[in-house]
Structure 1
Amino acid sequence: MSSTLRAHPSAKWWALAIISLTQLVVVLDGTIVNIALPQAQAALGMDDHMRQWVVTAYALAFGALLLLGGRIADYWGRKRTFLVGMVGFGLASLFAGMANAGWELVLGRALQGVFAAMLAPAALALLTTLFPSGRQRNTAFAVFGTVAGAGAAVGLVLGGFLTEFLDWRWCLLVNLFFVIVCLVGGALFITESKAEGDNRYDLWGALLVTVGLGSLVYGFSIAETGWANPLTIAFLAVGVVLLGVFVWVETKVGNPLLPLRVVADRVRGGAFLIQAVAGSVMIGATLYLTLHLQIVLGMGALQAGLASLPLPLGTMVLAPIATRMLGTVGPRPMLIGGPLVVAAALVYLSFITPGGDYLVEIAPALLVMGFGMAFVFIPLQNVALTGVAPHDAGVASAVTNSAMQIGGSIGLSVFTAVYAARVGAHAPADVDAAVLTSGYGATFLAAAVGMVVASVIAITMVRGRAEDLLPRGADEQAAVLAH
């Protein structure tokens, strides 16, 4: 029965739905717990340091293990890795949702990150092999990119709803519904694929990059205690050294974990850098916007989540237009202009005031940010994976996701330092709504600078003709050139 289903012409579109749903789960789990943290902290008796680790554990395990997860998907089988990762993610979510102590919740979140590191590259590699070129690929990546771009905001809305009307535990247990749907759909509609040829694992490379990225992410996660903190410096230094050794090792081994050809290509490398900047802005801006909505404007969890909806709605509204433009103007103009639109919205958002009207000061900026992000995320996935050999599809997908996670961690620490510098200049007794708002505004301005940098990266690195930046069939190339 499953072979008949897979042979049906619509099967790959059902597979796209399952893969996109998987990406939604992976992305929204980075934010869905954020709104529920105060309730979880009180219920489990966690101190502020352990509360931080509920968020950090997921990003740390996810970002550090993505490359290894990508190679496992390539070598062991992408569908097999997808299904095993989904089962593990569901069990980890159940464990975290039933936690009776803070350390259990942190451990559950770390396990979620481990299995997400298997899921994310397997899903994207499956998408790449399912839609190898042409207009269907553009449409598929438009759907996938929209889901990826909106996932963080969807997590905030869903987290707010579940926290307010049910219990904080449901922010984790809700994953079981997604897992069941994805397991059934994956078994029915996804076909197996894996890399051919030499499939030996680069164990030294895996160890170096995992510990190196883990050290780097952890160093940035504790940087809010001070950039001069010896512990911060030590972890960052160890991370940089280990990653340097990793690059050296990858040039020496016969079957590297990360073939340097995947990241050495100028266009693809530029796409990875833009992905990192976009991740930092989405994660950082979303967090500080949530703080402003709840702490300064006094919104409840659900109200704050709903107030962030203009951002994903803007992305979804512009997604069809961005998809059509991808086949005509090409990705380069979109990757230059999209970040500038987001930067303009962030500059506008930086002028928020303590008593400002949400509909005047915040909603328009979020809507325009969503518009701009549509022109970033939709072409980005295509460009990042264009020209990648089937043997490297999983690892290239892993780098794309890792760039988002590592970029988000680094960006958030930078924004936190900017916020702390602005608020820390005042005595604790003087920190009122006006001072907090000033700190949030400073982070939005820093995020705007980051998006301008992303545009500069696109100008200098994402270069070439439109037909060279996107995989197409010969007939479609001719049609595009005729326009």
Structure 2
Amino acid sequence: MRKGKSAVGDAKSSSMTWGPLIVLCIAFFILVFDTTAMSVAINDLVVDLDTDISTVQAVMAIYTLVMASTMLMGAKLGDMYGRKKVFLIGVAVYGVGTMTAALSPNAGVLLTGWSLIEGCAAAAMMPAAMALLASSYPDTKNRATAFAIYGGIGAAGAAVGPMLGGFIISELSWRWVFASELILVVVILICSSMLKEVEIDASKRPSMDIIGVIISALSFVLIILAFLNAGSGLLIVPVMLVLGIILFVCFKLWTERRRRQNKTPLLDFEIFKSKTFSFGNVAQMTLNLALMGTLFILPVYMQQVLHYTAVETGIYLIPYSFSILFISFVTGPISQKFNNKYLLLFGIFIAAIGVFVLQNLFSGPEIVTGSDLAIGLLIYGVGIGFVLALLGIMLISAVSEEQQNEGSGMINTVRNLGNSMGTALIGTVLVAFMLSGIATGVMTSDVIQVDMPKDELVAELQDYAEKMEAEHAEIDLSQYPEERVNEFKSIVNTATQTAMKQSFLVIFIILVATLVFALFIPGKKKW
């Protein structure tokens, strides 16, 4: 009889409760959807806010930069005051940020609402969400299922973001992307009772390492700013990069000093003794660098060269989007049967093949259309789908129960560093090659004969390209005959196509590096 009761108890303890997973997945969906949906709004933002590509690139990069630089503090707040409490406060503040962004009259207010307020709120939400997910599902099988679904929902946000965002932007406005997030914020707050708080021992409550917060934040800020300004040619750029690295070393030394004094450090670097955690995080950073770089440059190309609307851009990204979505959901069952390391390596390898295909498309003289991109995007998406579904559970399982909040903080810090660096680095490569290509095109053209120095024309055409050929660009095309206008546009399109080729080459190299880092992750069949 006792044996029967025990079996019933075991069955109950291992049964899957869906409430916490649903609430946390909605939160994760918002955070991913936010970035990917707005990736197809670049043209609308440039026109509506009277700005240019570089400014939009900066706003997007600063959003992930703010998340990355404050994520460790957000994770520590969860340890101090409770994961659920910090998560819900983060959700509420995120609602304020998304409402501010929706009402933005200019790029400065958008920066405040989206990049700063939303970025800080997301830094509180993300570590707490991963830790709450882990604590809500102590059973190994249920936890694997929960994290597979959680990763799949993140992939779904990335998948439907360009298409759904494109539809909302084309039919309504980019402002409604932020407004729709506010509705989901309210849903999370209403359903918050489904989440259970993890009890905190008052005697073991950690303190906030303020100096550690400042040093680490400055380190991340300088490193990302260096990447963001990589194409500017300013001497300060390598100085910022070196200072950022030095500050990170200082941060590590400071945390070691705190430990020797029996004080709680902002981050316990002991978690990096796990090869899975250390090499997995490096692979995650480089992967997200490639992923966000791709999601920045493709919409720019489609909207500037092909003149697609936001919804058309989303439609032509469907092969990429839905291959990620499909593969991320089927990876869960597959991961229970095969060695996860080899599945991860397979995914990265397939993603690299997809990028190689895309890069070769831009090597020819013909304009690459949205339908031409389909095969390469499909292959790329299949590879990314495997990786996104596997990395989360592999990384969080590499840290102890007590370090899950801290570990999830570092995981999300690294992820957002990769996101920010991807937008900054790949965006800089695209803009740099596009502008140099325009200069070369103007100087070598036999058609262009204007009553101004060619260097002035180069500057005006570069401004025209950076402002996505919008009406507020400095050049007035109406003063030129049709033949010259067509030549101007041909130069801009050719330069952009060449810039896409070079950008995908950089992304391919990054994925090869990701594959190398992933080789050092220990093999394990199940996590």
TM-score, structure 1 as length reference: 0.88
Give the equivalent residue in structure 2 for 1:454.
Answer: 514
Which of 326, 346, 365 is residue 355 of structure 2 equivalent to? 346
- Kindly indicate whether residue 214 of structure 2 is the aligned counterpart of residue 207 of structure 1: yes
- Kindly indicate whether residue 337 of structure 2 is the aligned counterpart of residue 365 of structure 1: no
Q: Comparing 85-94 with 151-160, which one deviates more in the overlay?
A: 151-160
| Structure 2 CA distance for aligned equivalents of residues 159 and 334 of structure 1 | 31
- Kindly indicate whether residue 168 of structure 2 is the aligned counterpart of residue 168 of structure 1: no
| Structure 1 CA distance for aligned equivalents of residues 44 and 524 of structure 2 | 52
Give the equivalent residue in structure 2 for 1:3.
Answer: none
Give the equivalent residue in structure 2 for 1:193.
Answer: 198
* 1:297-325 Cα deviation digits (max 9, x unpaired): 22111110121122231122223432122
- Kindly indicate whether residue 35 of structure 2 is the aligned counterpart of residue 30 of structure 1: yes
| Structure 2 CA distance for aligned equivalents of residues 9 and 276 of structure 1 | 34
Alignment of 1:83-162 (within 5 A): 83-109=88-114, 110-162=116-168
- Kindly indicate whether residue 282 of structure 2 is the aligned counterpart of residue 273 of structure 1: yes
AA at the equivalent of 2:152:
T
Which of 410, 425, 440 is residue 427 of structure 1 equivalent to? 440
Which of 213, 224, 230 is residue 231 of structure 2 equivalent to? 224
Cα offset, 1:465, TM superposition:
3.5
Secondary structure of the residue aligned to 1:174 is helix
Bigger radius of gyration among the two: 2
* 1:439-465 Cα deviation digits (max 9, x unpaired): 212222221222222121121x21144
Secondary structure of the residue aligned to 1:402 is helix
Indicate how the Cα distance of structure 1 residues 178 and 398 shifts in structure 2: closer, same or farther if over 3 A, else same: same
Indicate how the Cα distance of structure 1 residues 55 and 243 shifts in structure 2: closer, same or farther if over 3 A, else same: same
Indicate how the Cα distance of structure 1 residues 49 and 287 shifts in structure 2: closer, same or farther if over 3 A, else same: closer
| Structure 2 CA distance for aligned equivalents of residues 39 and 417 of structure 1 | 20
Cα offset, 1:428, TM superposition:
5.0
Indicate how the Cα distance of structure 1 residues 222 and 153 shifts in structure 2: closer, same or farther if over 3 A, else same: farther
* 1:107-154 Cα deviation digits (max 9, x unpaired): 112111010111111111111111234222222111111222343343
1:26 and 1:116 in contact (8 A); partners too: yes
Cα offset, 1:357, TM superposition:
5.0
Indicate how the Cα distance of structure 1 residues 319 and 410 shifts in structure 2: closer, same or farther if over 3 A, else same: closer
Give the equivalent residue in structure 2 for 1:385.
Answer: 396
Give the equivalent residue in structure 1 for 2:313.
Answer: 304
Give the equivalent residue in structure 1 for 2:367.
Answer: 355
- Kindly indicate whether residue 243 of structure 2 is the aligned counterpart of residue 238 of structure 1: yes
Indicate how the Cα distance of structure 1 residues 152 and 315 shifts in structure 2: closer, same or farther if over 3 A, else same: closer
Indicate how the Cα distance of structure 1 residues 378 and 40 shifts in structure 2: closer, same or farther if over 3 A, else same: closer
Cα offset, 1:280, TM superposition:
0.8
* 1:328-366 Cα deviation digits (max 9, x unpaired): 21211011111000000110111225434533x311222
- Kindly indicate whether residue 44 of structure 2 is the aligned counterpart of residue 39 of structure 1: yes
Q: Comparing 74-83 with 229-238, which one deviates more in the overlay?
A: 229-238
| Structure 2 CA distance for aligned equivalents of residues 357 and 134 of structure 1 | 46
Indicate how the Cα distance of structure 1 residues 212 and 420 shifts in structure 2: closer, same or farther if over 3 A, else same: same
Q: Comparing 99-108 with 173-182, which one deviates more in the overlay?
A: 99-108
Q: Comparing 17-26 with 290-299, which one deviates more in the overlay?
A: 290-299
Cα offset, 1:194, TM superposition:
5.2
AA at the equivalent of 1:463:
P
Indicate how the Cα distance of structure 1 residues 169 and 134 shifts in structure 2: closer, same or farther if over 3 A, else same: same
Cα offset, 1:11, TM superposition:
7.8
| Structure 1 CA distance for aligned equivalents of residues 15 and 336 of structure 2 | 23
1:195 and 1:392 in contact (8 A); partners too: no
Secondary structure of the residue aligned to 1:137 is helix
- Kindly indicate whether residue 189 of structure 2 is the aligned counterpart of residue 183 of structure 1: yes
Give the equivalent residue in structure 2 for 1:66.
Answer: 71
Indicate how the Cα distance of structure 1 residues 125 and 42 shifts in structure 2: closer, same or farther if over 3 A, else same: same
| Structure 1 CA distance for aligned equivalents of residues 215 and 294 of structure 2 | 31
